[in-house]
């Protein structure tokens, strides 16, 4: 089973729950419809990685604030990347088929180290840089569905196990990447940097 690092301890998530279309500007940039209800899909444990690998040219990065769950509450936070085989996902959507082949492949959920989150979550935000250029910016205020609402909705039909991860959606600025690109993801509370992770695509 794949593990993540939380406060220097290894945790084994049973699953990664992803919230789709949670930022209005991201919905617009992909020409998607605004959903009437929260979009939720899962990535299996086997998709988890701490390395950012190159797959092929249509693989899209989506930087996300990622929450670690304990006793149905947010216990930790990390910067995460939801990777998507974009062309494959578009074809699956056209046919009304599930997204797993495009979203749940091995290495599709990339996480930095999780740290304890005890601050006011309403002040949380992310920044993501590629080759030292700011590419994505998102925050609690820009989320259509806030973290407590995500937990409530997930619990309405699925059990959240201790150690599970919620990926809270991606802001605008998604795109593809290439070998040797440098990614740096940062999570802040206001101007206080909580955690930063750097990957070199390999």
Structural tokens at position 17: 């729950």
Task: Please give the Cα distance from 198 to 51 (Å, whole number).
Answer: 10
| Contact yes or no for 176/183 (Cβ under 8 A) | no
**Greater confidence, 167 or 23?**
167
CB under 8 Å to 177, separation ≥6 — which residues? 54, 59, 61, 130, 183, 201
pLDDT tens-digit series, residues 106-150: 999 999 999 999 888 999 999 999 999 999 999 999 999 999 999
Query: Can you tell me the mean pLDDT for 46-62?
Result: 95
Task: Please give the Cα distance from 153 to 19 (Å, whole number).
Answer: 10
pLDDT tens-digit series, residues 159-174: 999 999 999 999 999 9
Check residue 142 and give its pLDDT: 93
Tell me which CATH homologous superfamily contains domain 4-200.
Fumarylacetoacetase-like, C-terminal domain (3.90.850.10)
Task: Please give the Cα distance from 140 to 90 (Å, whole number).
Answer: 28
Is pLDDT above 90 for 180? yes
Check residue 28 and give its pLDDT: 57
Domain ranges across the chain: 4-200
Mean pLDDT of the chain: 93
Q: Cβ-count burial of 86 within 10 angstroms (0-12 exposed, 13-18 middle, 19+ buried)?
A: middle
Please give the angle made by the CA atoms of 134, 136 and 142, to the nearest 5 degrees.
135
**HSE-up (13 A, CA, CB side) for residue 20:** 16
């Amino acid at each position: 089973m794949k593990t993540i690092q939380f406060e220097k301890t290894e945790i084994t998530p049973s699953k990664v729950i992803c919230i789709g279309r949670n930022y209005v500007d991201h919905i617009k940039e992909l020409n998607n419809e605004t959903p009437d209800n929260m979009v939720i899909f899962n990535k299996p444990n086997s998709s988890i990685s701490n390395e950012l690998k190159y797959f092929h040219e249509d693989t899209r990065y989506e930087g996300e604030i990622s929450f670690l769950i304990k006793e149905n509450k947010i216990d930790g936070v990390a910067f995460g990347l939801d990777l998507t085989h974009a062309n494959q996902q578009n074809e699956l959507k056209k046919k009304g088929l599930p997204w797993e082949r495009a979203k749940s492949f091995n290495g599709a959920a990339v996480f930095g180290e999780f740290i304890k989150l005890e601050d006011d979550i309403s002040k949380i935000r992310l920044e993501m840089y590629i080759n030292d250029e700011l590419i994505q910016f998102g925050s609690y205020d820009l989320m259509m569905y806030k973290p407590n609402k995500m937990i409530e909705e997930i619990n309405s039909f699925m059990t959240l196990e201790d150690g599970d991860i919620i990926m809270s959606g991606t802001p605008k600025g998604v795109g593809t990447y290439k070998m040797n690109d440098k990614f740096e993801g940062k999570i802040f509370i206001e101007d206080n940097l909580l955690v930063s992770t750097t990957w070199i695509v390999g």
